[in-house]
Structures are given as structure tokens and as C-alpha cells.
Structure 1
């Protein structure tokens, strides 16, 4: 059965039906885009008294008592991410509570390994709980759906990642004469291989320079990091290379981030492991070519020649990947070809985002009216 997302046609009755859901989380941009269908209302993330409303984790709604108390406020539970702080068995209790009040449960598999954790064993056990108890499973790529089928015997519907760049964003990148390849290490979370990526990038840039390319690397790092030793090694590697510039800064505001990415001829993803990448989606929105390590399913997110894969330990493969990406006229920032590409992708995203939201709404409707097979639900 083909469970890849398709653009559907709604009847007037279906369009008028209202569906209120609890999403874990609710306020994340991904969720807001995926639930933008006018039929769907998402309850706001509960905020504990005295806490920052912008901090949704750990999600207070993912609690059996909360679900029972708000049983009449919504009709369905959709779990995306933010589960990692809960102990074993907690998610099963939440799914049981949801089913007890009549809520179907949807789980979207974003990550097969947790990007924020060094040891994903507890998270993998949570996936086992979710795969047993969820009534429907979705994911972002065909490869991830295949893994779900092979590992858990579940059928996952493929619904692509929605856009990341806001429609209102105005991008005016400043560009120099030579090419710039960037890598954003941010705060060096466990899933990021800072020193390894910088070492491979430096060697790849030296090879490209030897081949006649005018290119330099821009390595960005937050002032506050999770791994001080890795940050120190990154600084040493950049200081020892005439091809790498290190920029340390606070966390960038959105407009600053968009401008920093838009001025790149290529962006290298620094992940040691992973499944899908919102960063890759933002680069796609901005027309920035991406070199992604050959892990997870990054390359499947956009199979259009704008994402090139490389072994994360092989400088020659990275150099080849960058050279391949640069063969497209739109690889140059602030060029007419790049500007045209960004506008074209905005139009594509407008259509696809609507289809993604519609597909979620249709999935919710089928679960609620009993026309979706509950093939994973426990008795």
C-alpha cells in the first residue's frame, strides 16, 4: 500500500468539520505549519505558573492526569518530540489514558536516534512504547518509513517536512568574490561532531584550493557550548588553517540566521548521527546547496540535486560533493539564478505546505470517524 502523501480534494462537509487536537508540542514552527488546515485547532502548550511561556519542555500535556482533566477539550493526541525526559512506562501510561478518554494517538517519527542525547538507549525504548501504542504512525521520508516497517512491523505514512523560512522573511545576503562554505556547530549538542567536521572541511577546502577554487570555510560556534573540550579543539583547528574562519557568537536571531545562511555557496551539516534535518529544510528554502553526511535520510528530504552526500570522515568525498553542488548556476548567492530559485521554492512550498496540513487533517478525520485502520493499537 502506498502511504506517501498525496494532495487530496475535500468535500464541503469535510472542510467544515472542526478537529481539536493536543500536540506534543503545540508551539513549535513545524507543528504550526503541519496543522495549518482550517479544520484543525491545536490546544496551546500548558505553561506551569512562574515558568517561561517559550519553554514547552518537558511537555506538561503528556501526563495521564492532564489528559484525563482535559478529555472534553480535545479529541486526539499527536506526539512529535520532547519525550526524552520521561521515565520508562510513562508514555505507555499516557497512551492508555488517551485511549481511555476516546482520543486516538498519532506519532510522528522525526528521529531514529535522539540528536540531543549522547546515549539514545532510553529514547529507543520510548520508540518501542510509541510504536506499540500509537494508532497511526507518520514520518518524513521513505527510508525512515522502511526502517519503521523493518524494526517494528508498522506502516508509517510519509508526510514531508513543511517549510521553515517564514513567508515574510526578506533576505539580502552580502557576497564577496570567492566562494564561502559554512558549517554551524551551534552549541555542540551530542549529535554534532564539531572537531571531526572541521577537520574534514579544512582538508576538503585545501584540496579545492589546490584545484584552483577561490574558497574559504566559515565555522560558526556559540559562546556557550555543551562540550568545552570539543570547542577548544575546533578553535585550534581553525587557528591552524588558512582556509577556515571561526566566528563565535550568541545564538542568532532568526533574521541574522537567515542572512548568515543565505550568503553561503554551500552548507555542511556537522552531524555524527541523525535521521532528518530541519536545518537542511531551511537551507533548501534559502536556495543554499547542502553537503550532508551519509547518515540517516538527509539525502531523501530533497532528491533534486541540491543535497549531496559524503562520508563524514572523507575529505575527498566532501570536496567532490561541493564541486558537484557548485555546477548549478543557482549555487552562487545573490545571483539572479539564486533569487529566481528562492522565489520558485516559495511558490512550491506554498502548495506543499497546504497539502501537508490537509493530509494531517485528513488523517485526524479518518481516525476519529473510524475509517483509518487502527493497526497498531493495543487492546
Structure 2
């Protein structure tokens, strides 16, 4: 759909772009935008990522946005902070619409019901290193988490990672991280779970089993993981970089590319343990939010097609 030849002949009313343009050059995106313009087809761009979480070098992503943002007939983003950055960088106004639920409503209801009935289970603090994309810095956080959780009676630190990061022959194996995690798992400081990519069902079961999920990002913009945690009633401990705090209620700690405050992370984890805050969204709230987000998109599309 990002190929100009597809856009030149396909039958559609509005072209709404969210993701998928990482592999396109700025020139190719410019050609796509020109094709849409020549047909009178409106281009809507939802700016999810102002910084690509998969790449350290921001040059290419910035160049892609420098084509798409000015070319779009309308812009959408998820938070006021991101809209402010769009205004500063490109002089464009973006419509702010929250991210709707990620987990389906039935699964949400079941997970939240199960959480309310839990008794005498360990308090689980989760750190998920996935495939260790460049926006993450789990090794920076791990000593703080090990020390903090060790001092909380009945608490467990659970670290999940993909096989490509921790297996001896993994394509993205990180020797330092693997050695640290394996050593502390042997000492009983943490539970280490190594697995392949999880299906949606398994992912929701895993996230729903946690009391806290710590986001180890040092740069970024928004997080679908955060939204899924809120759907499942899992408290999110989020860094101060990006605009995670604006997506919904979270506990924050100071972390970006140049700064890390270990004390703020320890405080956030202890607060989650002591207060057991309920920061998630209810099914009714998500249902109403989905309705309002849908209505806003319909109004936006109708305004563009006249």
C-alpha cells in the first residue's frame, strides 16, 4: 500500500498511515505523497513515534517524518506532549486522540476479575527485555531492581527475554546481559524466563500475571505495551523520557539517554508494592473511549472527503 503504483490505482477514500514506512526512503515517501495529491486523495498521518525505537541513529526516521508530516492533510497523535513537539518541529497542529484498548474487552474483563480474586500470591515485578531493541537499557536498571525487590517481603523480580538475546547461538545475543541474568537467577535474585515471541493470548496471560511492569526505555514516544498493561490492571513504571506519563496513570522514574536516577526507580517500585495502586482502565472506560475515538476519526475522515 506504500507503493506509489498501488496508491495510483487502488479504490479508497482516505489514506491513513500509522506504521510500516521504516523500509521506505524519504524519496519513495515523497513519491507516494505526490501520487495521493495528484488523485486528490487525503493523507492522514498518526504520529506514534517521533523517535524510532528500533534504531539508534535517528537520521533516517527524521528524514521520513520531514516528508510525511508536511505532506499530510491532517495529523493525529496520542498525547499533548507529542502534539507540542510536532508543532515545534514542523509548525503543524495535530489532533490529540488517546490510544484505544489493545487487549480485547472480553479478555480484559476476565483478567481483571482474576486479579481481584488473587490471594497469597507473590508480588511480581516484571522486566521484559524482548529482543533488546536500541531504545532499551535493561542492564542500567537491573541492579536497582534486584536490590529493591530483594528487600520487599513476598516480592519476586521476573525477567523475560527472547531466545535471540539469551541463547548461546542467538542472533542478538548479549553476553553481558546473559551472564548477569543467569548468575542472579542462580542466586535466587530473580526468575528468568527465556522464550520465543509470545502469541497475543500468551502475552496477555503473562502481563496479567504481573503486578508491575517496568519499562526500560531510554528514549521513545508512546507505548502499546503500556496500554496493554493498563487493560490488564498491571501497574506500569515508566521512564520520564517520551510521553508515556501522558498516555495514562503510571508511576514514573527518571531515565533517558543521558540520565538515570536509581533512587526514583526504587521509590516507584516500593510505592507500587506498598500502595497497590489501581491505575488501569476499566472495561466500561475502554468501551467508551473506543466509541469516542471512532467518532473522532469518522468526523476527521468526513471533513477531508467533503
Both proteins in one fold, TM over 0.5: yes
Partners of 2:163 and 2:295 in 1: how far apart? 41
- 2:243 corresponds in structure 1 to 297
The answer to whether the Cα contact below 8 Å between 1:64 and 1:93 also exists between their aligned partners in 2 is yes
Q: 1:74 is matched with which residue? A: 12
Q: Which residue of 2 aligns with 1:311?
A: 254
What is the SS of the residue equivalent to 1:168?
helix
Question: Partner residue of 1:204?
Answer: 148
C-alpha distance in 1 between matches for 2:300 and 2:59: 30
TM-score, L = length of structure 2: 0.88
* Contact 1:178-1:216 at 8 Å conserved across structures: yes
Task: Quickly say closer, same or farther: Cα 1:317–1:87, change in 2 above 3 A.
Answer: same
Whether 1:221 and 2:158 are equivalent positions in the alignment is: no
Matches within 5 A, 1:235-314: 235-236=181-182, 238-239=184-185, 242-302=188-248, 304=249, 307-312=250-255, 313-314=260-261
Partners of 1:89 and 1:203 in 2: CA distance: 50
- C-alpha deviations, 1:249-306, integer Å up to 9, x for none? 122222222121112221101212110000000110111111011110001101x4xx
- How far apart, CA to CA, are the structure 2 residues paired with 1:233 and 1:294? 28
Q: In the TM superposition, what are the counterparts of 1:9-20 in structure 2 within 5 Å?
A: none
The corresponding residue for 2:268 is: 321
Which of these residues, 185, 190, 193, is aligned with residue 134 of structure 2? 190
Structure (1 or 2) with the greater helix fraction: 2
Question: What secondary structure is seen at the aligned counterpart in 1 of 2:160?
Answer: strand
Report the CA distance between 1:235 and its aligned residue: 2.6
1:104 to 26, 34, 42: 42
Computed over aligned residues only, the root mean square deviation of the Cα atoms, in angstroms, reads 2.1
Separation in 1 of the partners of 2:179 and 2:57? 22
Match of 1:168 among 106, 116, 120: 106
- Is this contact kept in 2: 1:202–1:241, CA < 8 A? no
Shift of 1:200: 3.2
> Structure 2 stretches of 5 or more lacking a match?
166-170
CA distance in 2, matches of 1:149, 1:224: 39
Inter-partner Cα distance in structure 2 for 1:283 and 1:120: 28
Give the match's secondary structure for 1:75: coil
| 2:126 equivalent to 1:179 | no
Alignment match, 1:122:
60
Q: Which of 273, 285, 288 matches 1:351?
A: 288
- Give 3-state SS (helix, strand or coil) of 2:105's partner: coil
Please list, as runs of the form range in 1=range in 2, the aligned pairs for 1:57-96 lying within 5 A after superposition. 61-70=1-10, 73-96=11-34
Per-residue CA distance 1:119-138 (angstroms, 9 max, x = gap):
22101111111111111111
Aligned residue among 357, 362, 367 for 2:304? 367
Displacement of 1:203: 3.2
> What is residue 133 of structure 1 aligned with on the other side?
71
Could you state the TM-score of these two structures normalised by the residue count of structure 1?
0.72
Partner Cα separation in structure 1 for residue 53 and residue 241 of structure 2: 12
Separation in 2 of the partners of 1:234 and 1:347? Answer: 43
User: In 2 relative to 1, CA 351–326 (structure 1 residues): closer, same or farther, beyond 3 Å?
Assistant: same
For the residue of structure 1 that corresponds to 2:26, the secondary structure is coil
CA distance in 2, matches of 1:268, 1:317: 12
Report if the CA contact (8 A) 1:204-1:315 is conserved: no
- Could you tell me how far apart the structure 2 residues matched to 1:121 and 1:233 are? 33
Who is 1:16 aligned against?
none
Distance 1:203 1:86 in 2: 44
Gaps of 5+ in 1: 1-60, 332-340, 370-379
